Amino acid sequence: MQFVIDNIFPITIALLSGFMLFWTTFGNRIRGIKEVDCQGAMQLINHKQAIVLDVREDSEYKSGHVLNAKHIPLGKLGQRLGELEKYRDQPVVVICRSGNRSCTASAQLGKQGFSQVYNLNGGVMAWQKANLPLEK
């Protein structure tokens, strides 16, 4: 017990670090967010007619986006949710630059009843790294 008292600060740091590592690895699964890599996204797009929802800002979208992607910036998603209503029962692949904003958007869509929402792991950066085309 004396050891714990004497080393409370390093023990706390170790526990917090462990929790952060755990959350990074399993947090999206716990929140019910499905993730997909570029190959999986391509399969959803080509074989299941998934829509691609790009939640980046206007300038980012204009610099290059996935072919036929629907563009709704994350900050406007709540206001423009009606535009996605017809895709409610269809797979939706959500994309941003790195996968963080799209994760937030995926959670938001899931709360609104969209059942087939997939966050593109790594975002546009992963898409480019996989040498997949972007439209300008």
**Residues identified as active-site:** 96
Query: Each residue of 95-124: b (16+ CB within 10 Å) or e?
Result: bbbbbebbbbbbbbbbeeebebbbbbbbbb
* Residue 109 to residue 119: CA distance in whole angstroms: 11
From the list 114, 112, 102, 42, the residue with the least C-alpha distance to 72 is 102
